[in-house]
Chains A and B, each alone.
Chain A
């Protein structure tokens, strides 16, 4: 239903929070909540940022400072066969640890001063803090392991590989949410995409047919989501949750009944080819990431750029964003709200399907039960942590991919951090983000609310 109270909401609720029964517009407690947040925005001093930074600095002091590994920590840059050799990055654990602490404390002090003046911390300071915290953590964690030496390109290339399905998933979710439809079903779209790709790829013997099938399969999931949540106005979160269960059950059932007994017929898809751009792929570190990818890997970079451009530079993008923020206003101006939402949800499925195909056509060439294992939810987290922005979603997905790659690398190296804590990282930072403790993450205002033309 349409929003009767078009006041922008300052709270971090990404979707219409616990709204009301039929026909009642956004509830008042949102305003009550939002006034607190709004006050901070318009100048009443907010001590949240300095407090959070101070806490993180304390963590850094305890771990990277006092617990610094007293040895050399190496990051191999060049690999055998690279175009040219770059000397390895090597720092001393103690030196880098205390340098990190010093920078973090300085930024925290700056944040305190800015907060006293009622101003925001400049973006470069936030980035500086982030860079030093991550690098300090990396030096500490690698330095404290049994072999304090890792390959930087291996670390990063692996992260990108793990991030690819997350990026597609979060972009698919983004297309839905920017136009006002909550997509919890990313997990189902990835899983069904992976399943369709495996079956169609095996039957046809062509990975390209598999890729197409993944797109169609995930779009089918989207179609159900769209029909239920847009046409029939069933609650979007419920449809999403139920779709995930449905896809998990359906693919699990078909896997056990059809795919597994006849694996050579139904579950042996060919792999998508990998293209290494000559010369460029041999650049240290960047080469494998940018120029030695599967088709889906290159597509990923293209799709991120395309979605960004389309969203912020085209008429379609403007309409999409308008429909997501204030459907009634968009409707008044002649945008067909529900038709646009319908198309965007299908498009979101198409994009998520590409991510699903990555599982069965690139990463492993067979489908297994529930093989996406929650990636759809991490993609949702990346979408939120990336503030519903394609570039943000890309960076957040890369960060989460990095965390899970680090987790697997560290389990070989032996590490002071339990791998479960690294696995928790995406979820914890997402909670911090939606709770507004780290930055603010505000979703499209109309996301989650069906639109009924009056």
Chain B
């Protein structure tokens, strides 16, 4: 089992369905099973995260001292700690009831969408590669190179309104595509494994950007801080809902990209070929599809999508290139794609969810003092729970797997 188990496209429609997927009703079971399992995984991860928040709370530790005298105190303290943290997270991610104006009340939701934008774009990059059977651990590097190129075009070139932003977007996509193409070409030519290549290229990209930020061409005049000049106003995404919100048209780009990827994968020849390569390279090759070309195409595409995430960062929120411009979006994108089961719209909604966690996490940290790293814990637990088959295994599935092969349903849910 490997790459494609992470990318279970609905088996019924798959280009070359694996033999086990032809069991009647497998497609339906996979779908309903996966939706329910996703929800359960999210709930279970949130509960565990809440437990962690509760157990490290000062008041809980205090009440634990006299737990056997009055256990109720500790239980209520735990509930208070966890629920207040999650409440703050909700306020920060969805709706702030304490706001005076409508704008202030929905501000958190727009923050969620803003943070979700690069997550969705980079997540799509990872998901597309999964669909073709490749592990793209390198979204971080592709995002960084895309951001660097986009930022350079944004601050160094002077172009008319409209054209400039377009040039920035193209530059970012090109930068990411270039970084992805290195992986695709090396894999196609030499058989080197993409996991190693992408991990190594992430660090090379990080150092390359750090180096660029020591060169005069990338620095603000007269400054030696590793921060690039600000992007020109013409290079920035316009704000989507007015100046009081950070939400920008990059989000629309993310929606468009999702639509495009969904179309590409489900309706186009290229997408068909990619999924065929991912589902069964042997069958794909027999059918006359060039598997090696597929590697290059999909990595270029994946890199371009991750590069667009870089554009969303520099031309949407940050407005300048720094070494930390990518934050950890490229790594989070992997969990986003996994939660989204490598499907375009699944990735989109997973990106929204993780965007909400992040946006809410910031508010939570400032309101209740709960460290934002809890978000990382919850995110990774979600993916682990989704991957854990026994969570939702029915007796029938168990009997099936005892016979040696996992059913399509259980194979599918193993992220």
- Give Cα A20–Cα B277 distance, bound, in whole angstroms: 9
Query: Per-position contact with B for A421-454: 1 when CB-CB < 8 Å, else 0?
Result: 1011001101100111100000100001110111
Interface presence of A316 (CB below 8 A): no
Chain A residue with the shortest CB-CB distance to B282: A28
Contact A424 B207 (CB under 8 A): yes
Contact B384 A228 (CB under 8 A): yes
CB contacts under 8 Å to A, within B302-354, are: 331-332, 334-335, 338
Interface presence of A415 (CB below 8 A): no
Contact A249 B380 (CB under 8 A): yes
Contact A19 B334 (CB under 8 A): no
- The residues of A that contact B415 with a CB separation of less than 8 Å are 234-235, 238
- Give Cα A449–Cα B388 distance, bound, in whole angstroms: 17
- The residues of A that contact B204 with a CB separation of less than 8 Å are 424, 427-428, 431
Contact A27 B281 (CB under 8 A): yes
Contact A235 B6 (CB under 8 A): yes
Tell me how far the C-beta of A239 lies from the nearest C-beta in chain B, rounded to whole angstroms: 7
- Give Cα A404–Cα B341 distance, bound, in whole angstroms: 39
Tell me how far the C-beta of A23 lies from the nearest C-beta in chain B, rounded to whole angstroms: 6
CB contacts under 8 Å to A, within B130-151, are: 132-135, 137
- Binding stretch for chain B, among A32-40, A74-82, A85-93: A32-40
- Give Cα A59–Cα B203 distance, bound, in whole angstroms: 23
CB contacts under 8 Å to B, within A351-366, are: none
- The residues of A that contact B389 with a CB separation of less than 8 Å are 232, 234
Interface presence of A252 (CB below 8 A): yes
Name the one of A243, A249, A369, A454 contacting B379, with C-beta atoms under 8 angstroms.
A249
- The residues of B that contact A234 with a CB separation of less than 8 Å are 387-389, 414-415
When A252-B371, A434-B197 are in contact, do A22 and B411 touch as well, CB less than 8 Å?
yes
Contact B281 A381 (CB under 8 A): no
Contact A21 B4 (CB under 8 A): yes
User: 14 other contacts beyond A238-B383, A450-B1, with CB at 8 A cut-off?
Assistant: A17-B187, A19-B3, A20-B281, A184-B195, A234-B389, A237-B135, A237-B137, A248-B373, A250-B373, A257-B56, A257-B371, A418-B211, A420-B208, A431-B201
Interface residues contributed by chain A, number (CB under 8 Å): 74
When A33-B191, A435-B186, A452-B404 are in contact, do A235 and B1 touch as well, CB less than 8 Å?
yes
- Give Cα A28–Cα B16 distance, bound, in whole angstroms: 15
Contact B373 A252 (CB under 8 A): yes
When A22-B406, A249-B374, A249-B375 are in contact, do A242 and B384 touch as well, CB less than 8 Å?
yes
Name the one of B132, B197, B375, B376 contacting A431, with C-beta atoms under 8 angstroms.
B197
Contact A246 B381 (CB under 8 A): yes
- Give Cα A26–Cα B338 distance, bound, in whole angstroms: 23
Tell me how far the C-beta of A184 lies from the nearest C-beta in chain B, rounded to whole angstroms: 7
- The residues of A that contact B115 with a CB separation of less than 8 Å are none
Binding site for B on A (CB under 8 A): 1, 11-24, 27-30, 32-34, 37, 182, 184, 224, 228, 232-235, 237-239, 241-243, 245-246, 248-250, 252-254, 256-258, 369, 374, 377, 380-381, 384, 418, 420-421, 423-424, 427-428, 430-431, 434-437, 443, 448-450, 452-454
Tell me how far the C-beta of B6 lies from the nearest C-beta in chain A, rounded to whole angstroms: 6
Contact B195 A1 (CB under 8 A): no
- The residues of A that contact B381 with a CB separation of less than 8 Å are 246
Contact B376 A420 (CB under 8 A): no
- Give Cα A28–Cα B195 distance, bound, in whole angstroms: 20
Interface presence of B20 (CB below 8 A): yes
Contact A21 B411 (CB under 8 A): yes
Interface residues contributed by chain B, number (CB under 8 Å): 79
A-B contact pairs, 12 of them (CB 8 A): A21-B1, A30-B191, A233-B414, A234-B389, A243-B380, A245-B335, A246-B384, A374-B203, A420-B208, A428-B200, A431-B197, A434-B190
- Give Cα A22–Cα B6 distance, bound, in whole angstroms: 11
Contact A21 B207 (CB under 8 A): no
Chain B residue with the shortest CB-CB distance to A14: B193
Interface presence of B5 (CB below 8 A): yes
- Give Cα A448–Cα B211 distance, bound, in whole angstroms: 35
Contact B190 A377 (CB under 8 A): no
- The residues of B that contact A437 with a CB separation of less than 8 Å are 190
Chain B residue with the shortest CB-CB distance to A249: B376
Name the one of B137, B193, B374 contacting A434, with C-beta atoms under 8 angstroms.
B193
- The residues of B that contact A19 with a CB separation of less than 8 Å are 1-4, 133
CB contacts under 8 Å to A, within B194-234, are: 194-197, 199-201, 203-204, 207-208, 210-211, 214
Tell me how far the C-beta of B83 lies from the nearest C-beta in chain A, rounded to whole angstroms: 17
- The residues of A that contact B405 with a CB separation of less than 8 Å are 22-23, 452
Contact B387 A252 (CB under 8 A): no
- Give Cα A291–Cα B124 distance, bound, in whole angstroms: 53
Contact A454 B197 (CB under 8 A): no
- The residues of B that contact A232 with a CB separation of less than 8 Å are 387-390, 414
CB contacts under 8 Å to A, within B355-405, are: 370-371, 373-377, 379-381, 383-384, 387-390, 404-405
Chain A residue with the shortest CB-CB distance to B379: A245
- The residues of A that contact B5 with a CB separation of less than 8 Å are 21-22, 235
Interface presence of B266 (CB below 8 A): no
